[in-house]
Amino acid sequence: MDNVMRLVDAATLDPRITPEQLSTRYGQDDHACSLLAVAEAILNRVPAGVTQWLSAPGVRAMWEEVLTVQEGNHQLSWWSKMITFGIEHPDTLRADRRLARIRQRRREAQFIVTTSVDRPVDGRVRDTALQRLKDAHPQETDSMLDELRRLSGIAGDECLSPGAERLLRLSDERFRDLAAQDVQGRADADELRHPAVLARWYDALVELGSQTFEQIGLETEERNIRAWFAVPDRYLIDTRHDASVEDWAPKLTFLTHLRTRLMERGRLRRAHDLRLFQQVHSPLAQRLRAAYPDEYVRYRQEEPSPAAAPQAGEPRPPHPAAFSGYAEVLHGHAWDVKWIYDGHRVWLDAWHGDDWRKGGRIVVTAARSRNAGKSSWRWSRPNFVFHNRRSRRYTLLSSAEALVTLAAENPAVTPTRYLKAVVPQVREHLEALIPPDGFRWRHPYPSPCGSALDRPKEFHERGLPKGDLSGVAQRRG
């Protein structure tokens, strides 16, 4: 059995190890799980089975939570090195690169978790005719509702346990103190997870986050709450000469673990709401419609027709509009395209076959200006990169037209007329142009519910002529 005690141990695992073997060996070892999650995010050579295991349905929530904690820990490490050694010191830059990779993977894990969650059907939730039917028969509706809640077991789950009742009787200050101790791991407060306590727990966590933000000089805004009280890197850079590591480190660590509690509370709330919808509200709607079909049809006819819901396609991160056209072109010529995003730069990583060293690789990338305000984000001009399989080097292509030609022909060597420059085999150059996981294959943006990628049938049937991409970009942008 392989022991994973250090990050480098993950790179020495059997390349053919399966998710099932990983689950058997490390599923109950929190330390090993944490190391594997970090190694998968920052190392270049980790078995593909590690990625498959971490993103599996039963593990992905833990994966996201581990990366959230590690993101906070590495942000604190980077900031401490910046204060101690300076912003341009090699140790600081190394910590910054590691933080960027973990942050990117955490965002991707969050995306995978979010898109894989089952959600109620919007049309039923917003069914005004059904609500009118409930209002017209309140006693029968209440009777059916009580019966369904009792049969599903939800009514029993929501009954206050002695522990939950005790928590709800606490004063706001004492409840908040208990929530803080739970964040710090100094209290066993499982009753905070009770459905009847979730709302108060959320309010306490938000108040704790707001207080800690104020202690380090930040104002609490709605966007901070949506970001789970993550401290912006720019603020840490601006305050590095005035802030004390000894004073701020406990606060930043507290915010890191508070984020995991907010994530956990959100998952519990969504799971409870989904169960309530599936086992109570949906059967209730079916019973009422069956009991009063004519009345329901009349209410429906009196309501305006609902707007058609948008169709979900391939999930994509923020990107320039033209990138949709580039993805169409690559898909049309049987390239397997993945979207990768680190909050600053977006990549289209396209492979032709299972091994890009043999089958071919094309990368399209652009960066968004960090200095521009949110209302004026600007993307840089895209770079087109082709892997020259004959000399095993990356080459910069001259234009989008070169991308179209090489996507169709996939030559072993870059034609001279399309060659702009050879990418130096230097880490700084490769990291700017090639995705952070550039030497191994993974699926950072899978389609929701494990469905196949969105590749229009008509596109495969007709192909795409060589030439301008503007039409495709306009249709898909």
Mean pLDDT calculated for residue range 306-331: 73
| pLDDT attached to residue 81 | 93
Q: What gap in Å lies between CA 256 and CA 230, rounded to an integer?
A: 7
Q: Are 362 and 330 in contact (CB under 8 A)?
A: yes
Task: List the single range of 82-91, 109-118, 451-460 with lowest mean pLDDT.
Answer: 451-460
Spell out the alpha helix ranges (H) of 86-194: 90-115, 122-125, 128-136, 138-152, 154-158, 162-169, 172-183
Confidence of residue 354 (pLDDT cuts 50, 70, 90): confident
459 pLDDT above the threshold of 50 = no
- Of 76, 69, 70, nearest in space to 92 by CA: 76
Mean pLDDT calculated for residue range 383-392: 91
Q: Are 280 and 154 in contact (CB under 8 A)?
A: yes
Q: What gap in Å lies between CA 272 and CA 432, rounded to an integer?
A: 43
| pLDDT attached to residue 165 | 87
252 pLDDT above the threshold of 90 = yes
Average pLDDT for the chain:
81
- Of 123, 199, 129, nearest in space to 167 by CA: 199
Confidence of residue 437 (pLDDT cuts 50, 70, 90): low
Entry pTM: 0.66
Strand ranges of the sheet holding 336-341, from the earlier edge strand across to the other edge: 336-341, 345-351, 361-367, 383-388, 393-397, 419-422
| pLDDT attached to residue 179 | 94
Q: What gap in Å lies between CA 288 and CA 356, rounded to an integer?
A: 57
Mean pLDDT calculated for residue range 28-35: 89
110 pLDDT above the threshold of 90 = no
Name the 3-class secondary structure at 362: strand
Dihedral of the CA atoms 443, 339, 337, 117 (nearest 10)?
A: 50
Q: What gap in Å lies between CA 41 and CA 97, rounded to an integer?
A: 11
Mean pLDDT calculated for residue range 180-187: 90
Task: List the single range of 220-224, 240-244, 308-312, 348-352 with lowest mean pLDDT.
Answer: 308-312
455 pLDDT above the threshold of 80 = no
| pLDDT attached to residue 316 | 75
- Number of alpha carbons in the 13 Å side-chain half-sphere of residue 203: 8
Q: What gap in Å lies between CA 280 and CA 288, rounded to an integer?
A: 12
Q: Are 290 and 442 in contact (CB under 8 A)?
A: no
Confidence of residue 460 (pLDDT cuts 50, 70, 90): very low
Mean pLDDT calculated for residue range 69-84: 94
Mean pLDDT calculated for residue range 14-33: 89
Most confident of 81-85, 118-122, 424-428: 81-85
Task: List the single range of 169-173, 177-181, 306-310 with lowest mean pLDDT.
Answer: 306-310
For the chain, percent of residues with pLDDT exceeding 90:
33
